[in-house]
Structure formats: structure tokens, C-alpha cells
Amino acid sequence: MLTESKLRCSRHRENVHQGRFATLQK
């Protein structure tokens, strides 16, 4: 359970980071 939560948070953070990067590039 803890690992899944951590993985989800990590994935969400990565997605947000990618989205910000894409916006910055645009």
C-alpha cells in the first residue's frame, strides 16, 4: 500500500513536471 502510494505520487509529480516543461517550451 505504501509503495503504491509513493509510486502514484512519483508518477503524478513526473506528469506535472512534464506538463510544465512542455508549457515552458511552447
CA distance 5 to 23: 27
In three-state secondary structure terms, 4 is helix
Look at residue 19 in the predicted model and tell me its pLDDT: 84
Full-model pTM: 0.44
pLDDT tens digits along 2-26: 889 988 988 989 888 888 877 777 6
For the chain, give the secondary structure using H, E and C: CHHHHHHHHHHHHHHHHHHHHHHHHC
**pLDDT value for 1:** 66
